[in-house]
Amino acid sequence: MPYPNLDHPLRDSLARELHARPFLRIGGSASLTHFAIYAEGDTTIHHTLLADLCRLTGLDQPADGATHYSARWSHGTQLKWERHTEFSTFTFVARREDTDYFSELATSHIPAQWFDRFAGKRLVALRMELVSGDAAAHARDNVRQWIDGPILAGSHVLGGGEVFCDWTIPPDGFTRFLVIDNGFREVQGGRLLQRLYEIETYRMMALLSLPVARELGRSVDHLQSALAPLMRSMDTSQGGRHDAGVLERLTHLAVRIEALAESGNRFSASRAYEKLVLARIQELREERIEGIPTIAEYMERRFAPAMETCRSVWARHEQFASRVARALDLLRTRVNLAQEQDTTRLLEGMDQTARNQLRLQHAVEGLSVAAISYYVLSLAGTGLKALHAFHLPLDPELAKGILILPVVLLVLRATRRSKHAAERAATRQQAANQAA
């Protein structure tokens, strides 16, 4: 009996990812033209360019959301397109039947109007020639006829070929690679060409952080010059308003250094591209050609310092941000301590005031008891005199003296009961307010 669908919804797409970007299949001599399109902030241009190319040349339109596309025209001409996170690449390959190397053969059938559509967005432009058969020896002996830069780099690669390049941009705008086929196995030629244009593409993408690093370095230098007097001011500060002013200036400095942190994405991407460059170079399995540097040596001498500059500038930025954060913490601690001292003094003053008020209250209570007692005794004395006028056998003055202590005690008790009742009422009202 058939089983129900047991697969996760993503299984098929994830499994096909391993086969999504196959190597170029090239047999014999071939001409390759490669473009990398980088348009920061314009993510639609990549699919638009591919759709326009297909429409202008009669190819089938790519699927919606495609990240890779390949097609063939007649006469062995093929296209490979790939969409990456920040850029896209167009690779055109055509058979080479003659020795007119580095001509427009691979893109001669593409309408000129298509090239106009990515003006200002072409980050990489390469021409590669894969020479095999009888023409290989002649091409090897005349490398300088096509690659005439000041420094020629090259090496034996993959155990069956040679690569030559100068990493310059001639007047035609295309960096050139000459690849000699000394007996590549099947698909080795295509794999080699793909690795070479990936090295150049990833190298250029990695170097996008270099102008950012230079600008960031100047900004960090300026901010560091502003931090030094603030640190000296902190050392000599006596607190108070001066500390508050320094804290405000340090906070402003921290905001400015944090605003520079948005460059971090560019540096992270460059580190990733640098790793890809080094990985692709290692995959070449280079062997030295006497008298010229290998691609790895050339990159070590030219590319690595640029990447090290980017790393060091970003490290300076992070260290400076940490210094500003530590300075802020120290100053905030000192300001908090000063505030706590002020608060302690304020509380001590309030406590002394409360004690004085308590003593005053006790004094007022004593005077109140005395005053009330006096008035009560006065009223009692008047009553006793009235009774004496009726010839009752009592001495008003003696009776009044005997009543002094009971009256004072009664008044004192009544005053305290009234005070306690008021305190209980206030407590109940406070609890009701908190519950509400």
Reported residue count of the chain is 436
Q: Same domain, yes or no, for 47 and 176?
A: yes
Same domain assignment for residues 213 and 189: no
Are 240 and 338 spatial neighbours (Cβ–Cβ below 8 Å)? yes
Same domain for 189 and 213, yes or no, is no
CA-to-CA separations, 192 to 286, 292, 435, in angstroms, rounded: 12, 20, 79
Q: Is residue 13 part of a domain?
A: no
**Rg, Å, the chain Cα set:** 46
Q: In 77-114, which positions are buried (b, 16+ CB within 10 angstroms) versus exposed (e)? A: bbbbbbbbebbbbbbbbbbbeeeebbeebbbeebeeeb
Q: Which domain, by its residues, includes 264?
A: 209-284+295-344
Whole-prediction pTM: 0.75
Could you tell me the two tokens for 416?
């305290």
Same domain, 321 and 270: yes
As for how many domains the chain has, the answer is 2
Whether residues 114 and 69 fall in one domain: yes
Q: Decide: helix, strand or coil at residue 63.
A: coil
To 5 degrees, how large is the angle CA 340–CA 343–CA 346? 155
Per-residue pLDDT tens digits of the chain, which is 436 residues long:
556 677 888 887 777 777 666 677 787 889 999 999 998 878 889 999 999 999 999 999 998 888 889 998 877 789 999 999 899 999 999 988 888 899 888 898 899 999 999 889 999 999 999 998 888 888 988 999 999 888 899 999 988 889 999 999 999 999 999 999 888 877 788 899 999 999 999 999 999 999 999 999 998 888 888 887 777 777 665 555 677 777 778 888 888 888 888 888 999 999 999 999 999 999 999 999 998 999 999 999 889 999 999 999 999 998 888 888 888 787 777 777 777 777 888 888 888 888 878 777 767 666 676 777 777 767 777 776 776 666 667 676 776 677 677 777 777 777 777 777 777 877 788 777 777 6
CA–CA dist 309, 411 (Å, integer): 91
CB neighbours of residue 131 within 10 Å: 25
The overall longest dimension of the chain from CA atoms, in Å, is 161
Same domain, 180 and 145: yes
Handedness of CA 244, 248, 253, 257 (dihedral sign): positive
Q: Is residue 146 part of a domain?
A: yes
Same domain as 314, residue 229: yes
The answer to whether position 404 is within a domain reads no
Asked whether residue 156 is domain-assigned, the answer is yes
Q: Which strand ranges, in their side-by-side order, compose the sheet holding 78-83?
A: 68-72, 78-83, 87-95, 30-38, 122-131, 175-181, 161-165, 153-157, 287-288
Residues 227 and 80 reside in one and the same domain? no
**Is 154 a domain residue?**
yes
Domain boundary, last residue among 141, 160, 194: 194
Query: Same domain, yes or no, for 26 and 170?
Result: yes
Residues 43 and 187 in one domain: yes
Please tell me whether residues 140 and 219 are part of one structural domain: no
